[in-house]
Structure 1
């Protein structure tokens, strides 16, 4: 019987109408005569094919749901096929299975309730259908679903239909619930109010005419519903006023029904009506925007958010909550909307069944959002929910799939936070709570997250919290140590993990255990400067807590480790950042030169090794040539030229000159060449001299051993005009460094040959230069570090005089014997021959 009724329900009404019209136009007799067995067989074959096709589709859907029960669209399609095939029991099970995972739409709840109502309406059937409606109105806000629910109760509940006291009370409670849920709905709320009034008017008509007192009470009840409705900003407020005035006229009150004003109405009602009308006018534009059908979902969502901001500014929580309910009904899977909704409720309501219900629906609509589950647990804790309820929500949350591991961690920590607070709370009703629940939760979190969050701060935070609770709440130091040891097995290369373990031992006064941890970890390699940091931390620890022997032992262990780390850092920097290391060396050498010549910007000093060789062969000759050279300086370019001469010899122990153009090395005459120093290693000289033009070649000076640029270069120009334009760029900034540009003039230095030539200069008979005349020859190599140069003094004639003892063969780090700190330098004619070892020995014996 149920199958036949359900088949009738499942038929398409339009198909039934078309069939009826076709039969009306046909001659029944002709139709019967023209019917044949072939037509009957054709229809039966068609039906069997359709049935086979439906079964095939049904089997595929069942298989897909078994593999992926979280597929929403498959659930919907499966229910449609079962409804078409009239599979009643399977249909009920399918709907229940879908509702366990997803909330159903209001239309699906209406369809479900109507299907069940068409099958059976006994006492058991009524309760089952009423339960379906209750579940439906709790999922989403739907005025049509509420109206169906109210109508069903009035028609199928015998006590309500007969207006019995119990039935009337039940119906009124249901109407008040509907008013609370949807009575403020600006566009559709009047439907609930009208249904409520109609129900009360039906009761009024059922009262005996002789019972005047009861009738008067009922009139006051109906009038109260009118007054309440007129105080709410609804879409058809003016028509409601007209109906109310008509009703009052029927009762014998003199009112002008045709007038739209509030004459004859009580002042309180008139004032409330005017206020409600103003509120509606302020919201009419927003209602029009969210009700439009010609806009996209994203635009409609934005209009809802604008509307919500307006309602929040008005300060009525009930209206704001109802508008949120309307929005989530249209956008049920918008996580941002649910987060915003629950955040508002946390701020305004904080506790209560309403917010608990909203969180339950939010996590059901958007189960993939970890923040919703976290805030749901907090909401349950604020509402003093039982441990079982909180535990059920927590376990359900762990079954969901989140986008980030941090969301799982946040859930575990929130659960632990709640357990800790309730254990420490004196008024906790859950006597079963103890540290074992916290330990179990931490262990589950560690097992689940350790491999994915290895060597992360998040995993460190989890174990640090765990160890602290074991120590402070559980009073178990051994358990706290086990927590740290388990973390170190996973994150042994994290400096922070060792530091946290050590800090716990120090806080508890166990310095010996802290020292043993330092001994375990100081040799490990950490990221960044962690290896050095742990060494220095051990030394600070021993200064503050250890004995002298402990400190000495730490120094003995740490010192070679720090030296090893320093060497390793230098090697790594030279491989990974050779340019930065080269810049540091250049800066150090430049600083050393500036310290050696504080009173002069122009000097002709040579490196100690070069000066020793020049002095041994002919110091007077070199000195005279230096004086002659300085006297011939004519302008700033020549001064810069001399400066470049000074800079180059001092660097002669490292660089060699190479041509920038690959190929066989060759000599250069430097007839029209500029010497550039203080070059940024990333600078493009060709681009820099582009406006001057005439660049013939560029030669970069390179380090002999590393092959890296030394920040020096020669630029050959085609003629003097282009060279002059390039020299005009002297002291210009290029990539943050001020260039020094001078003309290279090898003719002034032709006298220097062999070892007397400036370092870096070509050692050949036919090719010489001012600072470096050839790129084919290597510079002079000096394995010893340079010593402090002779003092340089300048007389009134700008003669540069080199004065001082020849310190050849004297240890570098000591002053020559017999030379006082303030003793004046010797004259040029003084014997400066180096002393032998025997002479030094005699000097010591005399002293």
Structure 2
């Protein structure tokens, strides 16, 4: 039960005795009544204070009206209802309650009282299409309008106009529309009885009018159509046109009427199950709303605007504050009717039911503009919209822009209204004052200022005012590159080259968001190439060159700091994790761990059968694998990875001269335009963990690899990279023995020093190494130490892509696989 229905049930109509405040008989409950009155007075004062502070409080309005009905203060009650109706549409139950109270206080036959109640009915049926309210409205006119009651020609005409309005509004209501049709027929039949029997012509004319009403009703799908058909046949029998009334056979009636009835019956049967769903009791509001939407889609497939509109009206009567329903309804009317009072009325009710939806106000203004509404009415609706609490600031921005659009269109068209440009300027100023604190450094506010400046030059013909607009914009959006570019573009468009140059001189040294600082420097150079002299270009180049170098150095420093901070966070997280979940093996010293790994008796059970040569600490995209234990990754993810992996390096690029702070993300971004990256492996020092400036990048195919090698000598974090193709065949010698290594071990130390390979890889590589004893080691020791500088800069015979050399013809003896000792000599040499 809704709040308004509850109010009707709980409250009784006011009486004249309440209004006059006549004395009531004394009773034992006088004290309690006094206490109740005092409490009601306090509640009324509290509600009046609340409504004065927040007039949009719907529930407070309802409570205030309910209390006033109990106290019998008629004047306050009328004012309270009027105040609420100005802000919100009242439900049909609330209108009926209001009218009922008015009828209980006055005699409706009085002209002033009749006019007031008639006005209430008209306002009530405007808010919502209620069948019960329309029936009350019709009965009231028939009972209290003297001309209608006396069946004078003027009264009859007035009643017929009212019936036709009711049919237009709700005559297609499938479930209850027949009530209005029957009331209309009964009224016409009553008129027939008042016609003199001797006036055959007038009598026949009235018979035809009643017959036409029957035909119209039978051609519309309505509930209980068979009863209407029976009533029609009974009436025709009374006119001596039919013999069999009990039969529902259509043979005896007019063929056109029978055909229309049959089509209407088919339409009713097609909609019967949809009507059952929306009228079904004990279902949730969301389910009922969804049934309405399904029903609307069905009606829209038939393409009958009148039926669709009536169904929309039925839906919004039940769900008056559902924004999506109003938006859908108004969008349909815009596409079908576009203009007219019907569309304007729907928008008026939509904005009263959902005043917080900015899109409804915007489309309301556009609808009024299409209908060539006066500037006064448009301004009034716009001011109303600004008083509402819209959901977002962007909606206010769109509202202001819509208003400016309308003013601009009317000023540039041959409109009869003589609008002045100051209206547009005032609207922009109001928008700027309201939106600037909320939309600082946003594209929306920048668009507003750019639009404003353009209209100042085009319509206002005031370049000084336009420059003032841009200067205000720079105070609020000065860190955005687009604001400076917009200002410069305006000056260039107007041919003011010197003014544009002066703006460049102001902004090239400013710190702009993103890459704006670099972009404005390059933009200045392009500007001087296109518009300036050689001296101007030289001057610009002299100014921007040190600025660009400063910006580049700053970015390198920022990236370095970011990388160091990330590394510190990673180490801190690793330490914290070890503290939380460490074991005895993790807490051992490095030398102790090396001794344990070198002694199979001390190795864990799962590592006894693994190659001891793979005991190096290996980082896999930030994961430390120690006896199959995992550490934290940079992304916070943990995953298991096999220690022993082989890489064929068939499509691998070897990169050197990498900046020490470069990480996987830097390398991946560097090759972003190439694509096809499978894995990235950075060489790190074994104990310090620092990058050695070397990396391997695996690609999907030779095409991607060739594109990567083509980026040789390009800079990454200020250092030129050396990029070449990695040759996996070790100088061109390839063993025919299947046991010969076809790749390098994941744990192989290519640095020639104590180091390890850090890599970023997928699970593409899952091969096992059966023999990895060619790793750089001393005789009898698993860890070899090479002294001196980094003489290992080009391991695995790295050669540039496309390199060809005159290889000696391999003799038969060369086909013999090399031993591990020979591999050691090759690396140490």
* Secondary structure of 1:261 counterpart: coil
Change in Cα spacing, 1:701 to 1:286, as seen in structure 2 (3 Å) is closer
1:130 aligns with 2:118: yes
Change in Cα spacing, 1:205 to 1:390, as seen in structure 2 (3 Å) is same
Which of 154, 164, 168 does residue 180 from structure 1 map onto?
Answer: 168
Counterpart for residue 91 of structure 1: 77
Counterpart for residue 562 of structure 2: 576
* Secondary structure of 1:263 counterpart: coil
Counterpart for residue 209 of structure 1: 197
How far residue 535 of structure 1 moved from its aligned partner, in angstroms, is 0.8
TM-score, normalization: structure 1? 0.71
Task: Give the superposed CA RMSD.
Answer: 3.8
Q: Is the contact made by 2:233 and 2:242 (CA closer than 8 Å) also made in structure 1?
A: no
1:430 aligns with 2:417: yes
Q: Is the contact made by 2:644 and 2:746 (CA closer than 8 Å) also made in structure 1?
A: no
**1:307 & 1:124 partners in 2: Cα distance?**
44
1:489 aligns with 2:480: no
1:163 aligns with 2:177: no
How far residue 745 of structure 1 moved from its aligned partner, in angstroms, is 5.1
How far residue 54 of structure 1 moved from its aligned partner, in angstroms, is 2.5
**1:529 & 1:541 partners in 2: Cα distance?**
18
Q: Deviations over 1:299-352 (max 9, x none)?
A: 000000000000000110000000000000000000000000000000000000
Counterpart for residue 308 of structure 1: 296
Which of 300, 309, 320 does residue 308 from structure 2 map onto?
Answer: 320
Q: Is the contact made by 1:506 and 1:514 (CA closer than 8 Å) also made in structure 2?
A: yes
Which of 87, 90, 105 does residue 104 from structure 1 map onto?
Answer: 90
Change in Cα spacing, 1:154 to 1:694, as seen in structure 2 (3 Å) is closer
Which of 281, 290, 296 does residue 293 from structure 1 map onto?
Answer: 281
Unpaired runs of 5+ residues, structure 1, are 1-8, 14-38, 583-659, 714-723, 751-766, 773-778, 800-847
Counterpart for residue 770 of structure 1: 784
Counterpart for residue 558 of structure 1: 544
Q: Deviations over 1:64-87 (max 9, x none)?
A: 222222111111121111112211
* Secondary structure of 2:626 counterpart: helix
* Secondary structure of 1:747 counterpart: coil
1:474 aligns with 2:414: no
Unpaired runs of 5+ residues, structure 2, are 1-8, 14-24, 569-585, 599-611, 630-639, 646-682, 697-740, 749-756, 800-804, 815-829
Counterpart for residue 629 of structure 1: none
**1:462 & 1:277 partners in 2: Cα distance?**
57
1:401 aligns with 2:409: no
Counterpart for residue 515 of structure 2: 529
Change in Cα spacing, 1:321 to 1:742, as seen in structure 2 (3 Å) is farther
**1:77 & 1:394 partners in 2: Cα distance?**
30
Figure out how many residues of one structure are paired with residues of the other and give that number.
649
* Secondary structure of 2:85 counterpart: helix
How far residue 712 of structure 1 moved from its aligned partner, in angstroms, is 9.6
Counterpart for residue 262 of structure 1: 250
How far residue 676 of structure 1 moved from its aligned partner, in angstroms, is 7.2
**2:413 & 2:12 partners in 1: Cα distance?**
62
Q: Is the contact made by 1:10 and 1:86 (CA closer than 8 Å) also made in structure 2?
A: no
Counterpart for residue 355 of structure 1: 343
How far residue 235 of structure 1 moved from its aligned partner, in angstroms, is 0.2
**2:641 & 2:85 partners in 1: Cα distance?**
78
* Secondary structure of 1:52 counterpart: helix
Of stretches 212-221 and 154-163 in structure 1, the one that deviates more from structure 2 is: 212-221
Counterpart for residue 55 of structure 1: 41
Q: Deviations over 1:763-808 (max 9, x none)?
A: xxxx995345xxxxxx85799x99xx99999988999xxxxxxxxx
**2:365 & 2:695 partners in 1: Cα distance?**
69
1:75 aligns with 2:88: no
Counterpart for residue 334 of structure 1: 322
Higher Rg of the two aligned structures: 1
**1:457 & 1:673 partners in 2: Cα distance?**
60
* Secondary structure of 2:189 counterpart: helix
* Secondary structure of 2:89 counterpart: coil
Q: Is the contact made by 1:416 and 1:438 (CA closer than 8 Å) also made in structure 2?
A: yes
For 1:639-788, what aligned pairs fall within 5 Å after superposition?
672-674=612-614, 681-686=621-626, 701-702=684-685, 707=690, 735-736=761-762, 743-744=774-775, 746-747=777-778, 770-771=784-785
Change in Cα spacing, 1:63 to 1:548, as seen in structure 2 (3 Å) is same
Change in Cα spacing, 1:230 to 1:569, as seen in structure 2 (3 Å) is same
Q: Deviations over 1:578-626 (max 9, x none)?
A: 59999xxxxxxxxxxxxxxxxxxxxxxxxxxxxxxxxxxxxxxxxxxxx
Q: Is the contact made by 1:674 and 1:744 (CA closer than 8 Å) also made in structure 2?
A: no
Q: Deviations over 1:504-546 (max 9, x none)?
A: 1111111111111111111111222111111111111111111
**2:392 & 2:517 partners in 1: Cα distance?**
31
TM-score, normalization: structure 2? 0.72
